Amino acid sequence: MRLISSVKLLKQLPTLHCYKANHDSLNIKRYFSILSSKNIIYHNTIKLSNVCLYSDDHKKQFVKKTEVLKDAFEHRKEQLKDTEHRIRQKGEKIIKDIKHQREVTGQIIRDRKDHIVKDILETKAKVKERFEEVVEKENIYTIPNVLCVTRIVMSPYLGYVILQDNYNLALGLLVFAGVTDMLDGWIARTWKGQSTKMGSFLDPMADKVLIATLFISLTWQNLIPLPLTMLIVARDVALVIAGFVIRYMSLPPPRTLSRYFDVTHATAQLEPTLISKVNTFIQLVLVGTALASPVFGFVDHPAMTALCGVTAASTVASAASYIISKNTYKFLKKKS
């Protein structure tokens, strides 16, 4: 019976010899499972040498494949690292480009914002200036202004009449000029809408043109001393120049010739001093007396000499008052 069992075991060994696997511990268990499933009964221990797990060729191929797989794995690992590095670099570059683009876009937006704000401010300033200009425009066609212009236009003719020794007509024209001077002031103070900023310059200018014309023509006729005439004309010229300077200083930009000579665009107001008003009255009395002296025959009267001295003193005091006083003129709006 033992012999028969051994023979049966030997018959099963070729089946085990042909069975191959990769892991020893697992294969041995499988071999014993196979033996158990085939109801193989043995009494002696089965030697592992009788079970051929690997042949030498298969072992070499396995080692070679293992090395190849290991090399491939390492190569693939390096490729993945390179790919990861490139992706990271590209991501950093993209982030950097996005930040740069954001900065550029932000700068463009800020520049455009500043440009828009600047345009708005400039437009606002122009609109404000235009509005102020419209507000400051006034009606210059008033009765007092017409009377002042009449005196200015009449002054050269009055001088011509004096040079022609027509003292009677000259005296009548002077009385008419004096009446217009009183009327324009009274109308401007009494009637609403007749007082203008232009009139504050036009009235004293008309008086100065008239007085200067009378003094020059009467001096030419040897009725008034030349030094006194030079003093009065010098003061009046200085006041006229000061008026042009005040006009320029009070005119807001843009300072163009058209706006400078636009008489409807009032920018300053003149307020004569009390001594200046007294001086104007004394000068009118002097030229009236000098003009009447040939008619009534009191040329070179001592009273004329005394009146000339008083006129000279009041003229100097009037010039000093314009220099000292700070309320002789005022700007109608703050300079821009």
> How confident is the model at residue 105, as a pLDDT?
83
Query: Dihedrals φ, ψ of 251, to 5°?
Result: -80, 120
Q: What confidence tens digit (pLDDT) does each residue in 139-197 have?
A: 677 888 888 889 999 999 999 999 998 988 998 898 898 888 888 878 878 887 777 77
Give the model's pLDDT for residue 195: 72
| Cα 274 from chain centroid (whole Å) | 44
Residue 145 lies in a domain: yes
pLDDT at 314: 92
Q: What is the tally of structural domains in the chain?
A: 3
- Final residue before a domain boundary, out of 84, 109, 136: 136
pLDDT tens-digit series, residues 278-288 = 888 898 899 88
The pLDDT of residue 88: 83
Are 13 and 76 members of one domain? no
Tell me, letter by letter, the H, E, C secondary structure of the chain: CHHHHHHHHHHHHHHHHCCCCCCHHHHHHHHHHHHHHCCCCCCCCCCHHHCCCCCHHHHHHHHHHHHHHHHHHHHHHHHHHHHHHHHHHHHHHHHHHHHHHHHHHHHHHHHHHHHHHHHHHHHHHHHHHHHHHHHHECCCCCHHHHHHHHHHHHHHHHHHHHHCCCHHHHHHHHHHHHHHHHHHHHHHHHCCCCCCHHHHHHHHHHHHHHHHHHHHHHHHCCCCCHHHHHHHHHHHHHHHHHHHHHHHHHCCCCCCHHHHCCCCECCEEECCCHHHHHHHHHHHHHHHHHHHHHHHCCCCCHHHHHHHHHHHHHHHHHHHHHHHCCCCEEECCCCC
Q: Is the pTM of this model over 0.75?
A: no
Torsion angle defined by CA atoms of residues 275, 279, 285 and 289, in that order, rounded to the nearest 10 degrees: 140
pLDDT digits (tens, 9 = 90+) for 85-137: 888 888 888 888 888 888 888 888 888 888 888 888 888 777 666 655 544 55
Structural domain range at position 223: 140-331
**What pLDDT does residue 191 have?**
80
Within 10 A of 194 (CB to CB), how many other CB atoms are there? 17
Q: Are residues 254 and 318 in the same domain?
A: yes
Residue 11 included in any domain: yes
- Per-residue pLDDT at 17: 42
The answer to whether residues 322 and 273 touch, using CB atoms and an 8 Å cutoff, is yes
Of 94, 115, 136, which residue is a domain's last? 136
Q: Considering the domain boundaries, does residue 270 fall inside one?
A: yes
**Is residue 23's pLDDT more than 60?**
no
Q: Looking at residue 201, what is its pLDDT? A: 74
Check whether residue 131 and residue 232 sit in a common domain. no
Whether residue 336 lies inside any domain: the answer is: no
Residue 116 in any domain: the answer is yes
